[in-house]
Amino acid sequence: MATVEFKGKTFTVDEDGFLENLDQWNTEWVDYVKDSEGIAELNDEHWKVINMLQDYYKKNGIAPMVRILSKVTGFKLKHIYELFPSGPGKGACKMAGLAKPTGCV
Amino acid sequence: MAERITDIGPPHFEKFLPPVIKENYGKWKYHEIPEPGVLRHVAENGAEIYSVRVASPRIMSTLQARDLCDIADKYCSGYLRFTSRHNFEFLVSDKSKLEPLKAELAKRGIPKGGTGHSITNIVHTQGWIHCHTPAIDASGVVKSVMDDLFGYFGSHKLPAQLRISLACCLNMCGAVHCSDIAILGIHRTPPKVNHERLRHLCEIPTTIAACPTGAIRPHPDKSIKSVVVNEERCMYCGNCYTMCPALPVFDSVKGGVALLVGGKVSNAKTPPMFSRLAVPYLPNNPPRWPEVVQAVRKIVTKYAEGANKWERVGEWVTRIGWEKFFEVCEIPFTFQHIDDYRWAYDTYRTSMHFKF
């Protein structure tokens, strides 16, 4: 378990860079992750995806299926990849501070 | 993202075909197996190609792969292929190179075989080399079993082909559910719940839904965001650990091996069959797994003695009956053998036909 210091905030992360303690999420975290995820500047569309993921997670306790993410945000999978080059799981969920995707990925 | 190339797919297989195969693609007349490990395919125009099949450990270093490439360069104009059971085939177009190739393989100690009514390579998984959910190792068990059954690899002395597969957990990656003999890693202890970490690492609804017996439910104390496992209902499949890292299930002492028999995928003579439980538990005993090796050998020997020509293990067992199978293989029949999952009823005997 490693800790990261960024703009005065401390984050505990695992070896893949996902938050080990979900309570530590804040906007600085998004700012910190965006570089390693190949995102230069965050726009409204990025935030729309991040907010949707967080709302869904708070309400249902799980990350949404890709088709639900697409349907609710109105972004096709192709566009989600344009926003988050590593994809909805490794990119968007990591930034939104959701638990790391599991299973045979 | 600059200069990133994507979605180009694998290179077209035609690029790597020996000229003889390219010219006679779809125009083969017949094939024969002149000796174990060597196949001869003859085309309509009389052209022929020899494939020399050799064993491989599946997991290999680049140095080993380069060695095989060197051999292919020397005798096969650089052409070789891998089979669907991870054997290598050297494709010899020039018949005069066949004997020198065989001599070279013998000199290097690379065994040829795996054709016809033999025990060819064991389809297996990652085990303790790379996976995080295994109950047993893969490569170690495979090496031990193949060492013991090596005589069957380079010979055609069985009644029919005998496929052995291994999967290191119940996920059954590979072909264990449809192999003549299957080696399967099983757990025998319920997962241990890490209540502290669970909330951060896992999606609780997914974890609950992962359980085939409904043994997982939310923690009764609403202030604790975690799950509890009803150990009476748990059959230790480890599915929940796949979904949730806070539920480790591996136990080095209690985990072990189950053997299944009688599966097949081909439609020859009889329809494809699933393999069924033969030995419910054998201990995990690295590095040579003597109990597993011994049990597999026993089944192979009894099958080789008892089966008719062309009869696969599953067909042999169906013919003699399961009670006879347990008798000749000297495997004690236990309550674990009796199916108790959902559609179990169809596996019970609803007939007066049985042998004492």
Does the CB of A65 have a partner CB in chain B at under 8 Å?
no
| Chain B residues whose beta carbon lies within 8 Å of the beta carbon of residue A103 | 242-243
What sign has the CA pseudo-torsion B266, B272, B273, B275? positive
| Chain B residues whose beta carbon lies within 8 Å of the beta carbon of residue A100 | 201
Distance from CA of B208 to the nearest CA of A (A): 11
Does the CB of A102 have a partner CB in chain B at under 8 Å?
yes
Does the CB of A63 have a partner CB in chain B at under 8 Å?
yes
Q: Give B222-254 pLDDT, tens digit per residue.
A: 999 999 999 999 999 999 999 999 999 999 999
Please report how many Cα atoms fall inside a 13 Å half-sphere around the Cα of residue B195, on the Cβ side: 13
pLDDT of residue B2: 84
| Chain A residues whose beta carbon lies within 8 Å of the beta carbon of residue B204 | 61-62
Distance from CA of B34 to the nearest CA of A (A): 43
B244 contacts A102? CB cut-off 8 A:
yes
Q: How many CB pairs under 8 A join A and B?
A: 32
Of B96, B110, B117, whose CA–CA distance to B53 is shortest?
B110
| Chain B residues whose beta carbon lies within 8 Å of the beta carbon of residue A85 | 1
A104 contacts B200? CB cut-off 8 A:
no
A21 contacts B200? CB cut-off 8 A:
yes
On average, the pLDDT of chain B sits at 96
B27-41 average pLDDT score: 97
* Token code pair at residue B234: 């748990």
Contacts 24+ apart (CB under 8 A), B229-234: B229/B190, B229/B191, B229/B193, B231/B190, B234/B190, B234/B191
Is pLDDT of A1 > 80?
A: no
B58-82 average pLDDT score: 96
Of A35, A39, A44, whose CA–CA distance to A4 is shortest?
A35
| Chain B residues whose beta carbon lies within 8 Å of the beta carbon of residue A21 | 200
| Residue B1 confidence class, pLDDT cut points 50, 70, 90 | confident
Stretch (H or E) spanning A26? none
| In B25-97, alpha helices (H) | 62-75
User: Which residue is it, tokens 């993410």?
Assistant: A69
Q: Give B97-130 pLDDT, tens digit per residue.
A: 999 999 999 999 999 999 999 999 999 999 999 9
ipTM above 0.85, yes or no: yes
Does the CB of B23 have a partner CB in chain A at under 8 Å?
no
Q: How far apart are CA B349 and CA B352, in angstroms?
A: 8
Q: Give A31-44 pLDDT, tens digit per residue.
A: 999 989 999 999 99
Q: Is B333 exposed, middle or buried (0-12, 13-18, 19+ CB in 10 A)?
A: middle
- Residues of A annotated as catalytic (active site), given as ranges: 104
User: Which of A62, A77, A84 to probe the B interface (max B CBs under 10 A)?
Assistant: A62
Phi then psi for B338, rounded to 5 degrees?
A: -85, 120
pLDDT of residue A65: 96
| Chain A residues whose beta carbon lies within 8 Å of the beta carbon of residue B243 | 102-103
Q: Which of A1-10, B66-75, B81-90, B181-190 comes out lowest in average pLDDT?
A: A1-10
Comparing CB atoms, the residue among A21, A62, A85 nearest residue B203 is A62
Does the CB of A27 have a partner CB in chain B at under 8 Å?
no
User: Within the 195-254 window of chain B, which residues sit less than 8 Å (CB to CB) from chain A?
Assistant: 199-206, 242-245
Is pLDDT of A105 > 90?
A: no
DSSP single-letter state for residue A90? I
Q: What residues contact B111, with CB distance under 8 A and at least 6 apart?
A: B37, B54, B55, B105, B150, B153, B154
pLDDT of residue B37: 97
